[in-house]
Structure 1
Amino acid sequence: MPEYPKVQGGGSLIVAWQVKNKHVLVVGGGEVAAGRILLALNADARVTVVCPSSGLNGEVAYRVAEKQVTHIDRNFEPCDLDTADMVLCAIDDPEASTQVWKLCKERRIAANIADVPPECDFYFGSIHRDGPLQVMVSTNGNGPKLASIVRKRIAEALPSNMGAAIENVGKLRRKLREVAPDIKEGPKRMKWMSGVCESWSLDDLVGMTEQDMDGLLSHYQSGDIPPLLEVRMKNL
């Protein structure tokens, strides 16, 4: 019998949730809410903040003043959920928070109630961001501070130019799809791109120009992956 990975229960399904142009409702306006708002804005979501003006901290007030978010100047009301795709609740009122949670469950809206793991459909991890690169560390709600420590150690181990390399690889992939658009080419495209990432150094990927990409792509049909120097010599 072949050996398969063992099931390790108790984890979370870690995914990259695409919320671009979706409506994220944030209940609260303090420090925790500010962090949640920034994460949602970084993901290009449409954010509405429900909180009396007196409860907004400096950062949230700034987001409101700059019109980065829509602000409803009052306490939460059930009608606020009418257009919400996701709810992030961060208020210092356990009873009110639980009410928000129950309403979200009734309407089947994904929600996160800050600091109350049993009332969360998902958790926020500690995130390292470098351009298109996002690395998240989650402790499944058990130790946020430890998640932050682990995330910092991972970030320190990564090359400083990793984000730039990923951006160039993304450009190369898009160009490759133009060169070989046929869906049947999918496995070959994946194998060839994997070969580029494995055979070229990080510095090569960072320094790759549009001309280098075009020169490299001319070798795709043959399946060859010449070194960057060879590609540039042929471009002369």
Structure 2
Amino acid sequence: MTHDFPPVEGGGSLILAWQIRNKRVLVVGGGEVAAGRILNVLNADAKVTVVSPREGLNPEVAYRIEQKQVDYHDRKFETADLDNVDMVLTAIDDPEASTRIWKLCKERKVAANIADVPPECDFYFGSVHRDGPLQIMVSTNGNGPKLASMVRKQIASGLPPNIGDAVKKVGALRKKLRKVAPEPEEGPKRMQWMSKVCEQWSLQELTDLSDKDMEILLGFYAPNEIPSSEVVRMQSRPDWAFDGSFGWSV
């Protein structure tokens, strides 16, 4: 018997959305690379500690410290810095010190990224496009960061300008749906119904969803129906009329 299953392609990375909100992240270094790493983890709501001599600070890193967006130690790395941390990022021009930190992290089972040394990384930073809650990452598995950036820009240029707003509205609709149908056994139906909404409504229609529109749309969940946006808005805004040809008129 033959099976039409996808082949295994080894050599890749498992790309995940790592939730590090309120996790403790140690950044060793204060240069340009460290600045990018710090912004990445701050955007993920991590608690960040930076260890680096002040004379080597990048202006952006100095700004983060001045604004108290990070905790700061004006000195070189010490082993005790690894106490009670969840992630370590190094960005220093000292290969021997970087490898030493890597080995200490391995002993303590702490996930680490040693900048520009792929073999000493538990994970890589890809090139990320962000539009509100939407994040798209391109990774070359440490082979070509510049190429990843070029690919990311090409992908981003083809995205609709309102896609971030559409994602926000879909997220809000999902939360409301869980209140309407909270039972675990409703899970498959919820997923299928949300999928149909996303498939049948345009991005602009999803972006334009108001809270009242959502309440009316959710009324079609029980019979497992997907009304058109025109039907929903006719019920949501009875003072509007749909002329059937050119759109809405008041």
TM-score range, shorter chain: over 0.9
Which amino acid is 1:170 matched to? G
- Give the equivalent residue in structure 1 for 2:12: 11
- TM-superposed CA distance for 1:2, in Å, is 2.2
SS of 1:101's equivalent in the other structure is helix
**1:225 to 2:226 alignment:** yes
Distance in 1 separating the partners of 2:65 and 2:50: 9
**1:106 to 2:107 alignment:** yes
Q: Could you state the TM-score of these two structures normalised by the residue count of structure 2? A: 0.94
**1:202 to 2:198 alignment:** no
- TM-superposed CA distance for 1:17, in Å, is 0.6
- TM-superposed CA distance for 1:55, in Å, is 1.2
- Give the equivalent residue in structure 2 for 1:178: 179
- TM-superposed CA distance for 1:229, in Å, is 1.0
SS of 1:76's equivalent in the other structure is coil
Distance in 1 separating the partners of 2:3 and 2:97: 52
Distance in 2 separating the partners of 1:165 and 1:34: 31
Distance in 2 separating the partners of 1:2 and 1:224: 35
Q: Deviations over 1:190-226 (max 9, x none)?
A: 0000000000011100101101000100110011111
Alignment of 1:10-159 (within 5 A): 10-159=11-160
Q: Deviations over 1:58-107 (max 9, x none)?
A: 00000000000000110000000001100000000111111110100110
Q: Deviations over 1:10-54 (max 9, x none)?
A: 101111111000000000000000000000000000000000111
- TM-superposed CA distance for 1:234, in Å, is 1.8
Distance in 1 separating the partners of 2:197 and 2:12: 33
Distance in 2 separating the partners of 1:194 and 1:8: 28
> Which protein shows a greater Rg?
2
SS of 2:72's equivalent in the other structure is strand
Q: Could you state the TM-score of these two structures normalised by the residue count of structure 1? A: 0.99
Aligned-CA RMSD value: 0.6
SS of 1:112's equivalent in the other structure is strand
SS of 1:193's equivalent in the other structure is helix
Distance in 2 separating the partners of 1:226 and 1:193: 12
- TM-superposed CA distance for 1:3, in Å, is 1.1
Which amino acid is 2:209 matched to? M
Which amino acid is 2:143 matched to? N
- TM-superposed CA distance for 1:128, in Å, is 0.3
- Give the equivalent residue in structure 2 for 1:212: 213
SS of 1:2's equivalent in the other structure is coil
SS of 1:128's equivalent in the other structure is strand
SS of 1:33's equivalent in the other structure is helix
